[in-house]
Structure 1
């Protein structure tokens, strides 16, 4: 079983949909997958939380969504909303989630 950490930087919903699809597919095939909202993608949390996006809610239910970047949420004006979700905010690297911690835990990093 391989481990993958998807760092989603792109704020385009269509692009993020592919992150969701790939993470779900890997998880269904026995791999471990995590999704980390970074960069512009942190603005998608509010849109997705208010949507009926079945892939987002499936990934959330399967606990594939690992965290949201605290620094980017603050910079892009969505910190207050993102703090109210049940998704952890991380910021151990100058306010951002550190890829090194995932690498140390055996995850292959994929950025999208």
Structure 2
């Protein structure tokens, strides 16, 4: 059994950012589809900006995102800082604020999760 936390930090500004998003989603999907594995997909920092786009059914990446949406959460502080708090709330995506308003990466490490960032 493998436990992985995939953290999307890439924003929405460049082709390279989109590549990092897609690679992160594909990685999370692979873990989600492997029996016995556990995955947490966390959008943090500028990565929180992807939520409104990924929730849009017209997005090129909506279907891929839907494959891992149940394992998805968003940094509470960063959703506000990057102006997507309302979109995250409307989508009903879980927000994390374990450590000063941010997800606790330390807690994930303590729970034996491998941390993979994109």
TM over 0.5: yes
Structure 1 segments of 4+ aligned residues over 6 angstroms from their partners:
none
Aligned positions of 1:36-55 closer than 5 A: 36-52=42-58, 53-55=62-64
Aligned positions of 1:13-32 closer than 5 A: 13-30=18-35, 31-32=37-38
- Residue matched to 1:58: 67
Q: Which runs of 5+ in 1 are unaligned?
A: none
The alpha carbon displacement at 1:109 in A equals 0.8
- Residue matched to 1:85: 91
In the alignment, the residues of structure 1 paired with residue 82 and residue 27 of structure 2 have an alpha-carbon distance, to the nearest angstrom, of: 26
Superposition RMSD in Å: 1.3
Spell out, residue by residue over 1:87-107, the C-alpha distance to the aligned partner (whole angstroms, 9 max, x if none): 111112111101012112221
Q: How many residues align?
A: 109
The alpha carbon displacement at 1:85 in A equals 1.6
Spell out, residue by residue over 1:5-43, the C-alpha distance to the aligned partner (whole angstroms, 9 max, x if none): 011111123211111111111222232111000011100
Which of these residues, 59, 63, 75, is aligned with residue 81 of structure 2?
75
Contact 1:33–1:64 (CA<8 Å) still a contact in 2?
Answer: yes
The alpha carbon displacement at 1:71 in A equals 0.9
